[in-house]
Structure 1
Amino acid sequence: MSAGATAGAMPCPVSGMVSATQTDEDWREIHVVFCGQAQIVWLRCLRPGFRHCFVVFGNGRLWLTLDPLSCWTDVRIQPIGGGFDLPAWYRAQGMITIPVTLVRHQPPTSAPWGPFTCVEAVKRVVGLRDRRVLTPYQLYRRLGDCERQSEPKKRAGHRPPLTPRQAAARS
């Protein structure tokens, strides 16, 4: 293990370097954020409100965003304190956030091959391996299914979360 490694951090199997100075447990809050903005014309064929997705990590001291864009992946430490509720701010901006738990497959194996999109990047970050999930809306539905399966059943016929359009229609 390298000199800067922390206990619990996983070394890269190829280089032996530790990929991060924090372990998965240090990131207490992890959210997938869905938004409807589309500057690329062909993304407008995707469901409104679900044209892009990215990941937000919080550890109580700072927030990190990993935003896979079409031309690069933007990784930033946000210039706000850890006490700021970044997921709530995204929701106030009209975006949807879903809290997630990272899944680490043991032993580590390759993820299924797929085109590199924002959805594929988010799936790899959270450890979701489902070839049928290709669009942000499909990812939203799949993560909602995972979230509901981890909760105790409240009642029969539990419905999936509302889309922004459904929520607007009800208000």
Structure 2
Amino acid sequence: MREEDRRFILVITPSTAHEGAELLRVGFGEAVAEAIEGGEFAARAGRLAELTGWVLRHRRLGDLELDLVAREAYGHGKSLNLNPREFALIWRLADAPGETVSKQDLIHDVWRMGFVPETNSIAVHMSRLRRKLGFVGLSGIIATSPNGGYCLMRADDVPPAPDIAFTSVQPPRIAPAQAML
């Protein structure tokens, strides 16, 4: 079991108080005796349910991984080297994968502004973000909505990256200079 998932688990019937304390020490959310009263059980389970609303450190969407603490994104394990605004944009889009996020919501949530200024800042940042995603093979993961918003595609909906074939190009042959007579 993953360590970060333990905090959401309520364990029933530890045999001793020492065992219950050990379960809590290794990261389980709660450890209760089998003879627990129904109201107490509901309260403890409710507290654990509230923890699921906490923001997680990592998000994974197919081959895209986001790390909130490092404020970095990885595509196929390769770092995208995002600037803070680019990371904030992709994190915000990852809040609702498959759903369009309006320009107004992006301005409010990422730029912390209450109005949409007459600027192409979102388009510029999105273009840079898409270019970096393309470098790691995730070029189709952000879609533009006809109304101007953006959508982080779900992993199953991302179009496959085109195969890039590199061909060697021969430089043109230049005839040696002829001696002038």
Same fold (TM over 0.5): no
Give the TM-score normalised by structure 1: 0.26
Give the TM-score normalised by structure 2: 0.25
Higher-Rg member (1/2)? 2
Name the one with the larger helix percent.
2
